[in-house]
Every structure is written in structure tokens, then in C-alpha cells.
Amino acid sequence: MVFDWDGTLFDSIGWIVECLQRAAYDCGLAVPTEREAKAVIGLGLNEAMEALFPGYPPATALRLAESYRGFYGGRATGPDSLFSGVAEMLAELKECGYRLAVATGKTRSGLNHALDLTRTEKLFHATRCADETASKPSPQMLFQLMYELEVDAEKTLMVGDSLHDLRMAQNAGVAAIAVGCGANDRVELARLCPFACIERTTDLLEFLR
């Protein structure tokens, strides 16, 4: 079972939007709307900046990324930054024998930091980040995780909150469960015909029973 991180396990969508907007303002660029900012959540940072601010030279893109990281890192993070009940849900799933993984647009250093601060690292059997392979919606993260964990596509489930998560799952031939607590709402997610659509990630436990 593969989880996205931001907006699926970790309650960070509002903060990501704010940091993207502040980075744009800091660099003298047009500030994206909340909808525009949400639309790139789930992509790797470079891909997100290119989608929001196309055509700018590499120096500007670098400034944007550095500014964003500076703002994002200013938020205090701990176990309570996860959505309520997520840590308990992951522990129960692992106890039931599920092999758990993360596929995220975060960098490796960013994810490792988040796993450490939320004390969830030991709950996952494998993780993959956008700076290690192709960004969503490429299926490469899922292909690599399935290979590492020796699990076939038909026995893999992707759980995510964004259209990028669902498209990645489609491209990998993997079933997906959409959660409406993050970047995209349930109406938007349902258009991509996931296996199921739930409101909160922790509703997964009841769905699997």
C-alpha cells in the first residue's frame, strides 16, 4: 500500500499554498491563487515551479525554490502535524501485514526530516521521492517501489489526495483510492475514476474491513 505524503498523511496543504505564494511575492512574481498553487502540489519542486512560473530563466527558478524552502522550513513540525489518527492507522495496517510505502513529490532530505519529526519512519517498508526518480505523474516511483518490495501491480494500492497521484497510479496500472482532505476535492478526484473515494485517509481502515 503506497501513500502520498502531503495532504494524505501530513496536514500541510494550506502551508504549502502559503509558502508558494510567499516565494512568488519574495521573487517579485505574480502571486498564484490558492487554486493555482494547489494544482501543482504533488509534483517535484522544480516541476511545480515550472508549472506555476513557466519560461523564467534558471536563476529565477533557483531563487523561487530557495525562497520556498526557506518559508516551508519555518513551520514547527511534530507528530501532531499528521492528520488525526494517521499514525495509529499506519501502525494497525502494518500489524495486519500490509507492506507500506510512501511516494512523494518531496525531496529525500525533506521526507527524511518529516519522517523523523513525526516519528513514522519505522512504519514504512520503503519510500521514494521526486528527486530520486521521475516526478508524478510518471509511474517510475511506483514501479521502483513495487520492484523493491516484490509486489505486483494488481496487489498494489495507491492512496493519494491529488490528481497527480491518481494519474501516476493509472500510468502504473495500479488501483487508487482518492482522499478528499488535500489538494483536490472529491468531485475533482472522482473524474479520474479511482477505485474508491473517501473523505479522510483514516477512513481507509473501515473501507478495508
Q: For the chain, which residues make up each domain, given as ranges?
A: 2-11+78-208, 13-72
CA angle 149, 155, 159 (to 5 degrees): 85
Q: Does domain 2-11+78-208 have CATH number 3.40.50.1000?
A: yes
Which pLDDT belongs to residue 177? 98
Which pLDDT belongs to residue 129? 97
C-alpha to C-alpha distance for 67 and 58, rounded to whole angstroms: 14
C-alpha to C-alpha distance for 154 and 52, rounded to whole angstroms: 34
The answer to whether 201 and 86 are in contact (CB under 8 A) is yes
Spans of the chain below 70 pLDDT:
none
C-alpha to C-alpha distance for 63 and 206, rounded to whole angstroms: 44
DSSP 41: B
C-alpha to C-alpha distance for 132 and 22, rounded to whole angstroms: 27
Q: Please report, for residues 46, 49, 113, the alpha-carbon distance to residue 57 in angstroms, rounded to integers and kept in the order given.
A: 12, 12, 30
Q: What would the grid cell of residue 169 be?
A: 497510479
Which pLDDT belongs to residue 74? 86
In this structure, what are the phi and psi dihedrals at residue 74, rounded to the nearest 5 degrees?
Answer: -80, -5
In sequence order, the 6+-apart residues with CB closer than 8 A to the CB of 134 are 140, 141
- Using alpha carbons, select from 154, 153, 76, 150 the residue that is nearest to residue 118: 76
pTM of the model: 0.94
DSSP 31: P
**Torsion from C-alpha of 136, 89, 121, 194, nearest 10 degrees:** -10
C-alpha to C-alpha distance for 25 and 174, rounded to whole angstroms: 39
C-alpha to C-alpha distance for 93 and 91, rounded to whole angstroms: 6
Domain 13-72, second-level architecture: Orthogonal Bundle (1.10)
Bridge partners of residue 3, in order along the sequence: 102, 159
